[in-house]
Chains A and B, each alone.
Chain A
Amino acid sequence: MIIALIYVATFILAFIIVRVVSRFVKSRADFTSLKTVTFGDESAVIPDRAATIISIVGIFLIWGAFTGSKLTLFHVPGPFIGDTSFSYTAENAAGEKDDATVFVRVHRVGEIVDAPATKGDDTGFAKDDSVTIQAGRSGLIRSSRNDEGSKDEGYRIVAINGSPIDSETKVEIADGTVLMTPKGSLNFEPTEGWQMEKIWLPPPEDVWSRLVEIASKGYRNFTLIEHLGWSLLRVLAGFAIGCIVGIPLGYAMGLSNWFRGWFDPIVEFMRPVPPLALIPLIIIWFGIDETGKIVLLFLAALWIMTIAARAGVSGVNISKIHAAYSLGASRWQIMRHVIVPNSLPEIFTGARVAMGVCWGTVVAAELVAAEKGAGQMIVAAAKFQLTDIVVMGIILIGIVGYGIDILMRSLERILVPWKGRA
């Protein structure tokens, strides 16, 4: 919630600052800047590069600020670490009152520290205590344990730092909160701050060092390249088989009444079924090894490629077909020289979608069951609460998915330059 508010505030603040700054910088007098109607003119909307940079840097800064990263200068308040103390007032069976001090040492997760020394002021029946507590946790203080007469009827703690306390009430003190349990013990909760613990979200540098470590040493018997490579290999195998079957099927559906009639219900039914819904059936049929995964990815790619190829054939301008016939082309020549090249833009669009869907599906399939692969890596790490590996895996999966899309787009530009220009 706080993070969302800070994000919105950053967005607005950055917008205002960039606006103010750009007023002093001379703007370019290009064609778009001379347009008076820009609201509603989509062509006049150009991504603001400053916004893009601030957006990306902002995400890392917020991430760093909330995880106590060494990379960011500004941090939100972290959990209390260090020594603190508070006093309590106890009342014994005789109705006498005495004060004692509790010395608390709050340490970082994983650190081993000695309990703080007491001041030795042990006059009276209440004796000083000393405890250590892990940051982000709370500690029970059995303050009465060493107090004289604490076992007696009528012994109880009545105040913390002078403020009265009763069973199940809280008293706020300098570095935390003291709560009295129903049994009359004290529970000290050091201030947590706004920062997230590493177990929820590790700072960016931890993710980076984990990446370096896994890239060189590997994780769970496979190197990082192997994990990602296996996922990619499955995608490529499933996608390739999907194309080999789907594209001819789509052509047949676009060219023959019989094929159209026969496969239309199957394709239209299978298309809206999410591939993930097929995982259980695939596991029952093929088990959890490579065959099952490739069959799943094949099914994910198949319908998309079939529909793309069918659309590519249906989308051919009839004038082109007529022209080719008038120029003396045979059916086969029309197929090879007109229908196939004309359908390539549609097929490329389909291939881009199919690769994206396959990449998503393979990660999900690996989450369910696999020995290696990007999805397996993060689900295994999650079981051991290695959040840094999980975050790293998610980022890598995102980068690979984005890379696939960029690759497909540049292939499209090279292979079908006429796309959208007919």
Chain B
Amino acid sequence: MKGLCISDVSMRFELANNSHVQALLDINLEIQSGEIVSVLGPSGCGKTTLLNILAGFLAPTAGSVELNGVAVTGPASERGMVFQQGALFEWMNVHQNVAFGPNMKGMDKSERNDIVDHLLETVGLQDFKEKAVYELSGGMQQRVALARCLANDPEVILMDEPLGALDALTREKMQGLVLRLWKETGKTIILITHSVEEALLLGERLLVMAPRPGRVHKEYRLPFAEMGVGADLREIKKIDGYSQTREEILSMIWDMEEEIMGRKENVS
């Protein structure tokens, strides 16, 4: 089948004192090609573990992940990653960072430069291509990270809180950019976030995960991502359905947090 197929994925970490942590339990998901999915949940619900399994950095203790019918066994360029920060190569300038993937594949220079120039224009950094990455602001660095990922033309883009370290205004701009890139490139995007608003705005599908064991608690199908393409995201936040869903998810996560705290108190 076309798309990402996650079947019965479980992840169990054995600890030193003979106990274990069930980070994920029986996750079943089918993500169609071209979907944008946001994953939300309290800390410790296993969302980063899930993303690492999808990227191929971790092998699940049970179950399997398939992309277009081929099992995922390790990292590969068909599944690009965008990290929160610190993943750019400081010893390369903006152009070299974006060209990294095509360069590793041995693509010839003129073709590579065309791709890089086009992508830098898409993310609005055409004037910064000779700059060192440490000279850029946090928002610009994330634009470079997005462009670097896209330069490899991956099937799926996995984003691990890509906008988490940005200030509120930059973050809003970047959310618009992510939506625009999604629509323009038609990539499958799986985005992990801590922010309920971001999850609502950027998720065609929104998965709320719950901890102990890590599992998908509830799934939403939302119209906001589609509406948000090219529109003012602040206008979308005024829609009734948006604020209702937001309140619902917030109280859901609030209850989960309370439950974790409560359990901890019982233990101690």
Contacts and interface: CB of A to CB of B under 8 A. Distances in A.
A117 B157 CA distance: 108
Given A418-B132, A422-B90, A322 B100 contact: no
Contact of B104 (A333, A417, A418, A421): A333
Interface in B49-93: 55-57, 74-77, 79-81, 83-84, 86-91
Interface of A is mostly: helix
CB-CB nearest 5 A-B residue pairs: A328-B77, A418-B90, A325-B75, A319-B87, A327-B101
Interface stretch (A62-70, A260-268, A281-289, A338-346): A338-346
Contacts of B242: none
A324 interface: yes
A322 B91 contact: no
Contacts of A341: 89, 91
Contacts of A329: 100, 104
Instruction: Give the size category of A's interface with B.
Output: 20 to 34
B89 A327 contact: no
Given A319-B86, A421-B90, 4 more contacts: A326-B77, A328-B76, A328-B77, A341-B89
29 contacts: A317-B86, A317-B87, A319-B83, A319-B84, A319-B86, A320-B86, A320-B87, A320-B88, A322-B75, A323-B81, A323-B148, A325-B75, A326-B75, A326-B81, A327-B101, A327-B104, A327-B148, A328-B76, A328-B77, A328-B101, A328-B104, A329-B104, A337-B100, A338-B89, A342-B91, A417-B132, A418-B90, A418-B91, A422-B86
A333 B149 CA distance: 17
B234 interface: no
B128 interface: no
A418 B96 CA distance: 15
A330 interface: yes
B10 interface: no
Contacts of A422: 86, 90, 134
A330 B104 contact: yes
Count chain B CB atoms within 10 A of each CB in A319, A320, A322, A323 and give the residue with the most.
A323
A198 B238 CA distance: 90
B111 to A, nearest CB: 16
B55 A326 contact: yes
A255 B93 CA distance: 27
Given A341-B89, A342-B91, A418-B132, A322 B81 contact: yes
A320 B148 contact: no
B105 interface: yes
Contacts of B90: 418, 421-422
Contacts, number: 75
Contact of B100 (A317, A319, A324): A324
A323 B87 contact: yes
Count chain A CB atoms within 10 A of each CB in B79, B132, B134, B158 and give the residue with the most.
B134
Contacts of B38: none
Interface string A389-422: 0000000000000000000000000001110011
Contacts of B79: 326
B57 A322 contact: yes
Given A417-B132, A422-B134, A327 B80 contact: yes
Nearest to A327: B101
B118 to A, nearest CB: 17
A327 B134 contact: no
Given A328-B76, A328-B152, A344-B91, A323 B83 contact: yes
B254 to A, nearest CB: 30
A327 B87 contact: no
A327 B57 contact: no
Count chain A CB atoms within 10 A of each CB in B79, B86, B87, B152 and give the residue with the most.
B87
Contacts of A326: 55, 75-77, 79-81, 149, 154, 158
A38 B82 CA distance: 41
Contacts of A322: 55, 57, 75, 81, 83, 87
A330 B106 CA distance: 12
Contacts of B56: 325
A317 to B, nearest CB: 5
B205 to A, nearest CB: 23
A326 B80 CA distance: 5
A327 B55 CA distance: 11
A328 B153 CA distance: 11
A318 B57 CA distance: 11
A319 to B, nearest CB: 4
